[in-house]
Structure formats: structure tokens, C-alpha cells
Structure 1
Amino acid sequence: MKLKEDADPRAAAVLRRALSDVLRTPTGQEVAADFVAQNASAEVRFDKLDGTLISVNGRKVVSGIRGEARNGSVVAINRLFLDADPELASREMAGTLAHELFGHILEEQRAKNADFPLAALHRYRGDEANGRLIGWLVRTELGAPLSDGGMWGYLKDPEAFHKSLALIDPYYALTFGPDGLADPVPVLRARLEQSRRRRESMDETDIDMRKWRFVIEHFVAEHKMERRRFASVGEDSDNFLEEYSSIKREAGEVEEDIRKRIEFYGTPEGREALRKLSEASRSEHLRAFERRLERYRTRLAMETRGRKREALVPPPPDQIDFDALEKLYQDDVRDNPRHWGL
């Protein structure tokens, strides 16, 4: 593995630290040995990726694309990590590096070694699940807060996790489980309708989040509550609304890409692609991949047993969260309906 030189003098040390963190975890050591055994190689670099730095209870974290694997040989890490909170960025970068390097680059090399078609690998939802599981395991083994809602969702119900992921990102919208690879078109048609319904409901979510800004101002102005007690929930609302335009844009892209893919599968070239996907869905390579995913999921369940989702950055103890804000609002509607024009 090669670390690409960077003009930023901090870059080399930060990348080496991230790799060192990965390799001191049991999962990192296991997949690194596999990486060597498969004769895989990669260049790791910082790059400008879509995203922004947001504040979470006063500490800067990367929101957006944290990393990506390119062409089976390059791992790009979001340059924003260099300016994020160092302690949080260190563990997040380790998980991101493990995800991209050992979740994707390694699997492309494994597929090549097994003569498994890369086109099928890139349409297989397990490729992303693999990266996420490895990243979650590395973060967990490093002692990072168990703050990723996606991790908890996957542990609870992998199928529901994949259905949700397929509706929020154009790339994952065109990926399938083994059964879906065998016959993708019905899956895509159902997904198109699900995406349409989700997009139509998104404006309600926007209105709901904006409502909380008004509710907060009401309790500060009318009930003389301290504004600082709403800092965390206000920050969460602002972060969501800042990202909302890109969320809506991607929802439209999901539908457009699904339509195009359905049309493609109706062409002679598309029908040949369907035949190859169906063949890949029955391969031993894919069955072994599914077993590996289940092994990682079982390990992650054991690592997190008895715990629950944690805050990435715990708020001050007297902060009002969304549940408490909802109760304040409902109680005030009941006791002071005129405050709300009722």
C-alpha cells in the first residue's frame, strides 16, 4: 500500500496514524492479512470530496462523503478530515479507511482472483454492507462512540437497512441481494414506486424540521427559557436543513437512474447483462461473500451486546433533546392553546 504525497504537511502523519489505528484492531489485522494473501494493492490519498464540516455540540465533524474507492486501486479520503476535531476525526478516518481499503479494494481483487465479474460485484448490495461492517467493527474496537444509526439499523434488520439505503443514493438504488441479482427488473419497478412516495413525503419532513425553530423561539421568548438549553437540538435541526437540498436532489436522481436502468435492461445489451447477473447470483463466490457478511454481523452484534446508540459528542447534561422539546410543545398546546392560534 502506498500513501500519496500531499502538499499539506499534516497529511502523511494523519494517514499513517489512521492506518496504524486500523491495524491495532482485531478486525483490521484479519482483513489486512487477507489483503496481503489476495495480492491486493492500493494508493491512499486525501482528496476533495462532497461534504462539509458541521458542528456537533461544538466540535467539528465531517458530514457527507468521507471516502471512496476508485478503479480498484485508489482510496480517497475526504480532505476535510484534516480540519475536523482531531480526536473524533482519528477514529472516523480509521473506520473510513478500513471501509474503503478492506471493504471495497480487497473485494475487487478477490473477485478478480476468482474470475467473478466486477459488473456483478458493483450491482451486489453486499459489497457496501461489507465495507460498512468492517468500518463499524474497526470503530467499535477502537472504542469510538456507537453513534451510527445505520449500524444499529443493520444489526436490527439488514433487509430493512438495504431497502432504506436503496432509496437515498443513486448508486445503491441499482444494487441487489442475491435474489434481486437473479431478477432485478421487478425489484427496480417496486423501488421506483417506493422512491416516488418517499420524495412526495419529504416536504413534510422539511416543514416539520423548520417548525422546531419556531417552537424553540416561542419557549425562549414567551416562557423565558434559556436559549443555551436548546443549543444541541437547534444545531441538529440546522445541520439537517443545510443538507436537505442535496437529500432532495439525490431523491430525484434515484428515480431517474432507476428508470434508465429499467430501460437499459430492455435492450439486447441489457438482456445480456441480466443473464450475467443471474449467473453470478448462483455462484459459490457470492455464497461465500454472504457467509462472510453474516460472520461480521455476528461479531459486531457480540461487540455491541447490551449497549445502545450513543451520542457522537454528548451534549451538556441540561440540554433539551427532541423528545423533551416535543413534550414541551404538546403540553403548551394543551395548557396554552392561544399561544398556537388554537
Structure 2
Amino acid sequence: MRSLKILFLLLSLAPLASAPARAGNLDGLAEEGSVLFDGGGRYERAASENPAPEDRAALLAELKKHINIDDHGVPAEKAAMDSLLARLMDSKTARELSVQFIKEDAKVDLSFEEIPNTKIFTVDGVKVFRTSGGHTHTGTVPPQVHLNKAYLEARKEDAPDTLAHEMFGHALERKKAERFGVQDVYSYDQDEEANAGLIGWTVGAELGNKVEDGWAWIYMDNPANYHKRLKTNLPYYAGTLSTEEMKDPLSAYTKRLAEVNKLLPRIPIRRERYTILLKVTDHLPEPPHKMEASSFLTVREDISASIDTLPGNEQNLNEIKSYLEKLIFAYAGEKGRAKQEALAAKSKNDYFTEKQKAMEERRQVLSGLMLAKPNRTPDPPKRPGQCTWEQLEGIWDTHRRSTECLWQP
């Protein structure tokens, strides 16, 4: 997934404020920007279906007044980030959210950074990486959006929707939460990531990219299943709650810890399975099978990459376990009961209702885009005559039941 709240533990253990909910008036925000930019309804024109080039350019220029790019003294990094921001102007959703960003007077620091456990692999001649595309530090002022530095080398087509996910889905959302007075609890909301996901997926689809993120298909098929699976993906997500769960977070965290304890023993099982499949690709070119060794090049690359990600997965699950144990401790006892009551009260804020409404509208837009361009079927391997992972598993299953070859890995 693409967003990681580095300060998740500090946020979760901090006392909850009790300020009353308040919904501010956007008309008074970013007054200077409105005067300079929105004369004659240019906001509306820029966010329309097909704005004039000059309106797009004006929107981009105004948006960049709210953004500080840290290029680490490397001009190529600034050029790459400027290019990504310009690319966002080709998405209607991104333009609409740019207008919101300006009107909310949101600010953000952008940079390319090293993301832990990132490895760039070459699979079928294409450079890829399988770790987070970025994360947002919403506890800083202004929020810091870090895009994975690997985007400078790999998966460049995914970078614009990751930027939209982080900047509009998380940094902008922080500003909205402040307006409603729930900035101390909004990050507990399980829809914080789903909302950012919807934004990124929609922007990517509008830019013509395939909707290949498995999380997008899971969410669109069954949001409840998405939330359940996401909670074992990163420590921060493990601590998020539905508004219903906010009434009894202790029970929710206890159940979640039990699920993590079931997943940890599966890591070595997966490692053994992947290792066996690699051995199978070594065996199949031998008699009596005599399959072409070169037909397994792509699948071997893919399996090897999957094996390399397992240590990071195991570390992540252990961190989730530790985080949940701390949350359970924090919500236990008398002090914990007070935290639960404060969280339950804030869960009734209009912020969450309005977010749900916006998410449902965006879900409808994305649904139409996905129906227009169904992309669940992966592209065929670029190398000719390659055996897929699914085919390899089928061959191995048949081999194990056969009496013609008694080889065992």
C-alpha cells in the first residue's frame, strides 16, 4: 500500500482532545489565492471536463504556490516532481482536488526519499519494485509527502497516481480534518486509506493507466474485505477502526492481534513453497520431461523476487503485532476507558459522514472507468514461450500425482 504514518504510535497513545466539531467556511480560505486565481470563475473552468490549456496552466501555477519541493540539491529530482505535478493536470479528479487544496489553503513538502525494504527487480526485462510507493507524514507542519525514490528508475507510470494518493488523499485530508476539529482522531478512521486509494486509482485511470493495483479490485468488489485484509498490511492500518469499532477499540485490537498470530507461521510455509517451485524449474528441463529451460526465465525471476520480499513481510507482521499489543495496553484500564469514550464521541462528527459521501461518489466514477477498461488480466509475458506461475503450479501438481517420474525436490 502507498501511505505510511511514521508517527502512528505517538498518535495512538496521545490523549484525545475534546474540542467541539466545527465545519469552516471554504469561501474565506486562501483569500489571496482566490483573488488572484479565481477571477471570472477560473476555478470552475480549470476543474471542468476539458479546460483550456491556459486554465490548466493557471491551476498548476496556483497549486505550486502551496508546495515546497525538496530536491536534495539534485535538479533531476525537481524536474521529475514538476513533471508529475503537470501530469496531474490531465486528470479531472486531480484538477478538482487541486482546487480544494488551494481553497483549503493546504500546504505540503514534496520529495523523493528512500523507502525501507525497497528493492528494484528486473522481471521480463522491466524494472519493478514491490514496496510502498510513498507515505505522508501528517504530524509535521506542513505535512511531508515522500515518494519512493525508486520511481526515478522503475514504474514511472504509477508515480502520478501515487502522488495524488498521498497529496490529495492524506495531506489535504489532514487540512479538512482540522476544519472539522477532528485532526486528533481522523487518522484512526479506516477510510483514511481507502479514500486516498480511491483518489489514486481514479486519477491513474483518468490518466489512461491500467487499474492493476490488486487493492483497487478488492475494494471495489468488497470494501469490508479490503479493510480486513489491509489491517494486516502495515502497523498504521492495523490501528485504524470503523466508526462502529471506535465505540469499542479494545475488542477490535484484540481480535486483530489473534489474526496476526495466525499469519506469522505462514511465512516459512510460503518460503518453502517458493523454493520448491524454483527446484521444479531446474528439474523440468531434465529427462523424462525435457522442457525448454529458457521457458522458465520469467517465472524464475518472479519467484525469486517473491522470496526476497518475505523477510520484509515477516518483519512487518512482527511490527504489527508489537503495535497492536501497545494499543491494547493503552486502551486497557481506567485511563483506557476515558480514551475510548473520547474516541467514541468524536466518531459522530460530520467529518466522517461527509467523507463517506465523497467516497461513494468517487467509487461510482472509478467503477465506470474500470468497466470501460477492464484490466484484471495481466499482459502476457514479453519473452516468447514463457511458462506462467499458474502453469508451473499446475505442472507440479500433475507431476506429484504421476508415477512416470519419482523425482522429489
Indicate the TM-score class for this superposition, using the shorter chain for normalisation. over 0.9
| Structure 1 residues 233-244: aligned runs within 5 Å | 233-244=299-310
Give the direction of change, closer, same or farther, for the CA distance of 1:336–1:289 in structure 2 (3 Å limit).
Answer: same
**TM-score (structure 1 length as normaliser):** 0.92
Give the direction of change, closer, same or farther, for the CA distance of 1:62–1:285 in structure 2 (3 Å limit).
Answer: same
For structure 2, list consecutive stretches of 5 or more residues without a partner in the other structure.
1-66
Match of 1:261 among 316, 323, 327: 327
Q: Is the 8 A contact 2:250 2:332 kept in 1?
A: no
Match of 1:286 among 352, 355, 366: 352
1:82 aligns with 2:152: yes
**TM-score (structure 2 length as normaliser):** 0.78
Q: In the alignment, which residue of structure 2 is the partner of 1:142?
A: 207
Q: In the alignment, which residue of structure 2 is the partner of 1:203?
A: 268
Match of 2:383 among 309, 312, 316: 316
Q: In the alignment, which residue of structure 2 is the partner of 1:73?
A: 143
CA shift, 1:61, in A, is: 2.2
Same amino acid, percent of matched pairs: 25
- Return the structure number with greater helix share: 1
Match of 1:113 among 151, 156, 179: 179
Q: In the alignment, which residue of structure 1 is the partner of 2:392?
A: 325
Q: Is the 8 A contact 1:62 1:80 kept in 2?
A: yes
CA shift, 1:262, in A, is: 0.7
Q: Secondary structure at the match of 1:64?
A: coil
1:214 aligns with 2:284: no
Q: Is the 8 A contact 1:265 1:273 kept in 2?
A: yes
Match of 2:127 among 52, 55, 60: 60
For structure 1, list consecutive stretches of 5 or more residues without a partner in the other structure.
none
Alpha-carbon separation, structure 1, partners of 2:219 and 2:135: 21
CA shift, 1:269, in A, is: 4.0
Q: Is the 8 A contact 1:10 1:82 kept in 2?
A: no
Give the direction of change, closer, same or farther, for the CA distance of 1:333–1:137 in structure 2 (3 Å limit).
Answer: same
Q: In the alignment, which residue of structure 2 is the partner of 1:173?
A: 238
Alpha-carbon separation, structure 1, partners of 2:404 and 2:344: 60
Alpha-carbon separation, structure 2, partners of 1:115 and 1:319: 56
Alpha-carbon separation, structure 2, partners of 1:295 and 1:332: 50
1:132 aligns with 2:132: no
Q: What is the root-mean-square deviation of aligned Cα atoms in Å?
A: 1.9
Question: How many residues were matched structurally?
Answer: 337
1:226 aligns with 2:292: yes
Alpha-carbon separation, structure 2, partners of 1:165 and 1:322: 25
- Over residues 88-124 of structure 1, what are the superposed CA-to-partner deviations in whole Å (9 max), with x where a residue is unaligned? 31x21101110110000000000111112x2311111
The ranges of structure 1 where at least 4 consecutive aligned residues each deviate by more than 6 angstroms after the TM superposition are: none
Q: In the alignment, which residue of structure 2 is the partner of 1:92?
A: 158
Alpha-carbon separation, structure 1, partners of 2:316 and 2:385: 36
- Over residues 260-289 of structure 1, what are the superposed CA-to-partner deviations in whole Å (9 max), with x where a residue is unaligned? 111110144433322221112211111111
Q: Is the 8 A contact 1:103 1:132 kept in 2?
A: yes
Q: In the alignment, which residue of structure 2 is the partner of 1:10?
A: 76
